[in-house]
Structure 1
């Protein structure tokens, strides 16, 4: 406290210790950020994640273990395809193709659930344990070291200024300072020298991704072959002859059916041009005032 307020020079740590502190701070940020981004990678829909978190919170308050499953996009799309494939019916080749692809998408969703479980168990859980146990302990020792260093420096300065601080008090303060220094250094050292385990966890993550993509590749390969056969079958299938029905075929009565027995809904029959009469009223060509034809 005195060092911070008065600007007095306190005990300085060496370069190696400062570098370990810097790397430890980076590790703290890394572990926090890596957990968050990995969860976003596995479950990219923020609305669904928020809903799952809410359900989990309510379940804890009520004392009921209600499982909330993240809706994989592949599964959602697969359900949509299966639903409408069934609605189109078995006589629709397109409907059958939708069923095939929908089931394949749902199969890939199941593979994605397996990936999620794998990553959570073998990558996220070790990171969470590192954050809540090892890192927490290291940061505790560092904080304690900071306090004991300030206490040791403060008592030395007060003794130098003539305060009634005995050598025994300073010795006890120094012992506590040395103890915390040792614990903080060993904690940071063990944390930073744990590369084998941490790289092993990354390798497990990569292996899980590889297995996921390989399984999806097999599913998609089989699906593609099936759809290409369906496409050829649809191309070779003869088209059904289709004649559009008229209202008469449907026995629909027109507006004038009740008046003169004919319907205005049927197409009118137009006379051919050579059947038209120019002057139907007289039956002959018009004549001029002198009786001669105007033509």
Structure 2
């Protein structure tokens, strides 16, 4: 920094302290400029809060948002791809219905209806992801652009204006307190006043132009509403079509009526020795209860896969939904190391449900 620049910084600091502590009065800006400043401050807070609240609206579960943000950060450090998308409740409900609908008999109308409903909710999940992408692209990104470009430039001009005002007022105060140096300071005061005026014009013009850009702001808001309208329109169509199908299945079930079922009685006779004779005459000794077989994961810490996970490199462990994985250790709050079918590797914590937890000694990071 040059000597002239250093002296200006000292003058600004001197004037600032004089106003805050000594009660010195600085040059007052006109009401129109002050009104513009208040409007810009309100817009800055508005945009910041709208971005936050929109994210909360699209992804309402704070714990899941935090987990995905952590996983994204972890993946960036390791040079991996993005974390899995936010799990939509429509998709989770659809998966549940599809799972149990397929477990019922093939001729079960209720099972068929569950499958139809499950697919409908999976379609709802797809259109919700599309809506979320559209909102981020057409609404949130433009708002972030306003923050990083237009408001940043306006705040730069405002800060420069305040600095030049302090410099101008400091030189005026020096002139008033030292009449002998008035002639020397007059030229400096004139230059400082011109720069002060120049900064005021730049800052006020930038603020006025921004506040007059209602068209751009309303266009972005309209894109947000359009994404919502499109989502609810498609969701309504999916539900209406599903409702028609379910009404048809209901009528079909009613026309079938309830089928009567007569359980066949067991035909068992016992001999004096305690052996059991079935209808065809074969003999067998009384059976003792079988012990429950061991779980698929064997003894020791293990977990069950909630989703399918595809490994992106040799260090990761791929698995399918429902697999039982033996736990070796927990690397950090987001990653386990485990073993499945003689293969070891890493996998995300939020992809599994722990059945038998790891001992404290197997935790590779502090839990406190």
Is 1:242 aligned to residue 261 of structure 2? yes
User: In the alignment, is residue 197 of structure 1 matched against residue 216 of structure 2?
Assistant: yes
Q: Does 1:138 align with 2:134?
A: no
Per-residue CA deviation, residues 199-246 of structure 1 (Å, 9 max, x unaligned), is 011111111111111111110110000001111111111433312344
Distance 1:58 1:179 in 2: 48
Give the corresponding residue for 1:30.
Answer: 46
TM-score under structure 2 normalisation? 0.66
Higher strand residue share: 2
Contact residue 171 and residue 185 of structure 2 kept, 8 A: no
SS of 1:6's equivalent in the other structure is coil
Structure 1 contact 104–223 (Cα < 8 Å) conserved? yes
Contact 1:3 1:150 in 2 (8 A): no
Residue 194 of structure 2 aligns with which residue? 175
Contact 1:17/1:185, CA 8 A, preserved across alignment: yes
- Residues 81-139 of structure 1: per-residue CA shift (max 9 Å, x gap): 10110111312111110000000000011111111111111100000010111111111
Provide the rounded CA distance (Å) in 2 between the counterparts of 1:112 and 1:260: 65
Q: Which moved more, 1:48-57 or 1:160-169?
A: 160-169
State the partner residue of 1:275. none
| Closer, same or farther: CA 215–261 of 1 in aligned 2, 3 Å | closer
Q: What 5-or-longer segments of structure 1 have no aligned partner? A: 264-295
Whose helix proportion is higher, 1 or 2?
1
User: Which consecutive segments of 4 or more residues in structure 1 shift more than 6 A?
Assistant: 260-263
Distance 1:211 1:155, change over 3 A: same
Which position in structure 2 is the counterpart of 1:287? none
Aligned to 2:240, what secondary structure does the other structure show?
A: helix
Q: How many residues align?
A: 258
Matched position secondary structure for 2:21: helix
Are 2:277 and 1:258 equivalent residues in the alignment? Answer: no
Q: For residue 358 of structure 2, what is the aligned residue in structure 1?
A: none
Task: Supply the RMSD in Å over aligned alpha carbons.
Answer: 2.0
Comparing 202-211 and 33-42, the one that deviates more: 202-211
Between the aligned partners of 2:66 and 2:83, the Cα distance in structure 1 is 14
The answer to whether residue 244 in structure 2 is matched with residue 218 in structure 1 is no
The Cα shift of 1:148 comes to 1.4
After TM superposition, the structure 1 stretch with the greater mean CA deviation from structure 2, 184-193 or 64-73, is: 64-73
CA separation of 1:45 and 1:262: change in aligned 2, threshold 3 A = closer
Partner of 2:66: 50
User: Is the contact between residue 3 and residue 154 of structure 1 (CA under 8 Å) also seen in structure 2?
Assistant: no
